Structure 1
Amino acid sequence: MHHSFYGWYFKCQSDTQTLAVIPAIHNTGNKRTCSIQVITDNDAWTVMFPADVFQRTKRNIFIGENRFGEKGIHLAMHTPQVTVSGRLDFGMLFPLKYDIMGPFTLVPFMECRHGVWSMRHPVKGNVCINGQKYFFRNAWGYWEGDRGRSFPKEYIWTQCFFPEGSLMLSVADIPMAGIHFTGIIGAVLWRGKEYRLATYLGAKVVKIQNNIVRVIQGSLELEARLLETSGRPLKAPLNGNMVRTIHESASCRAFYRFRKGGATLFAFETDRASFEFEYFS
Structure 2
Amino acid sequence: MRDYFCGWYFKCQSDKQTVAVIPAIHTTKGKCSCSIQLIAEEGAWSVELPYNRFDKSRRCFSIRAAENCFGREGFRLCLNTENCSAAGSVRFGAFSPIRYDIMGPFRLVPFLECRHAVLSMKHTVTGELRINGVTYSFTNGIGYIEGDRGRSFPKEYAWTQCAFEDGALMLSVAEIPMGAFRFTGVIGIIHWRGKEYRLATYLGAKAVRIQNGEIIISQGDMLFSMKLIEKHSVPLRAPVNGSMCRTIHESACCSASYCFRKNAQTLFSFETARASFEYEYLR
TM-score bucket (shorter structure): over 0.9
- 2:34, 2:50 within 8 Å by CA — same for their partners in 1? yes
Stretches of structure 2 lacking an aligned partner (at least 5 in a row): none
Q: Which residue of 1 aligns with 2:122?
A: 120
Instruction: Report what 1:38 is aligned to.
Output: 38
Deviations, residues 235-271 of structure 1 (Å, cap 9, x unaligned): 0000000000000000000000011111110011111
List per-residue Cα deviations over 1:151-199 (Å, max 9, x = no partner): 0000000000111110000000000121000000000001111100000
Match of 1:48 in 2: 48
CA contact (8 A) 2:50 2:66 kept: no
Q: Which residue of the partner structure matches residue 207 of structure 1?
A: 209
User: Match for 1:192: what amino acid?
Assistant: G
For residues 132 and 37 of structure 2, the distance between their equivalents in structure 1, rounded to whole angstroms, comes to: 14
Q: Which 4+ stretches in 1 moved above 3 angstroms?
A: none
CA–CA separation in structure 2 for the residues paired with 1:232 and 1:8: 18
Structure 1 residue 108, shift from structure 2 partner: 0.3
Letter in 2 for 1:164: D
Q: Tell me what 2:258 maps to.
A: 256
Counterparts of 1:30 and 1:198 in 2: how far apart (Å)? 34
Q: Which residue of 2 aligns with 1:154?
A: 156
User: Is 1:142–2:144 an aligned residue pair?
Assistant: yes
Residues 21 and 38, structure 2, Cα contact 8 Å, conserved in 1: yes
Q: Tell me what 1:27 maps to.
A: 27
Alignment of 1:98-117 (within 5 A): 98-117=100-119
What are the Cα deviations for residues 98-128 of structure 1, in whole angstroms up to 9, with x where unaligned? 0000000000000000000000001100001
Counterpart residue type for residue 184 of structure 2: T
Residues 36 and 47 in structure 1, CA contact (< 8 A), matched pair in contact too: yes
Q: In the aligned structure 2, how far is the partner of 1:182 from the partner of 1:195? A: 20
Structure 1 unaligned residues grouped into runs of 5+:
none
SS for the counterpart of 2:107 is helix
- 1:218 and 2:220 are equivalent in the alignment: yes
SS at match of 2:30: coil
Equivalence map 1:75-86=2 (5 Å): 75-86=77-88
Q: Percent identity?
A: 57
Distance in 1, matches of 2:41 and 2:141, equals 15
What is the rounded CA distance, in whole Å, between the counterparts of 1:176 and 1:51 in structure 2? 31
Contact (CA 8 Å) 1:257, 1:267: kept in 2 or not? yes
Q: Which residue of 2 aligns with 1:190?
A: 192
Deviation of 1:66 (Å) = 0.2
- Equivalent residue in structure 2 for 1:65, among 54, 64, 67: 67
Within 2, Cα distance between the matches of 1:127 and 1:50? 23
Q: Do residues 168 (structure 1) and 173 (structure 2) align?
A: no
SS at 1:142's partner residue?
Answer: strand
Q: TM-score, normalised by structure 1?
A: 0.99
Are the counterparts in 1 of residues 97 and 121 from structure 2 also a CA contact under 8 Å?
A: yes
What is the CA–CA distance in structure 2 between the aligned matches of 1:152 and 1:210, rounded to whole Å?
18
CA distance in 2, matches of 1:75, 1:162: 27
CA RMSD of aligned residues (A): 0.6
How many residue pairs get matched? 281
Deviation at 1:30, TM superposition (A): 2.6
Q: Distance in 2 between matches of 1:180 and 1:86?
A: 43
CA deviations 1:221-241 (Å, max 9, x no partner) are 110100011110000000000
- How high is the TM-score relative to the length of structure 2? 0.98
- Alpha-carbon contact 1:32-1:50 (below 8 Å) kept: no
In 1, the alpha carbon distance for the partners of 2:3 and 2:275 equals 32
| Aligned partner letter, 1:8 | W
Q: Which amino acid aligns with 2:281?
A: Y
Cα distance in 1 for partners of 2:50, 2:127 equals 28
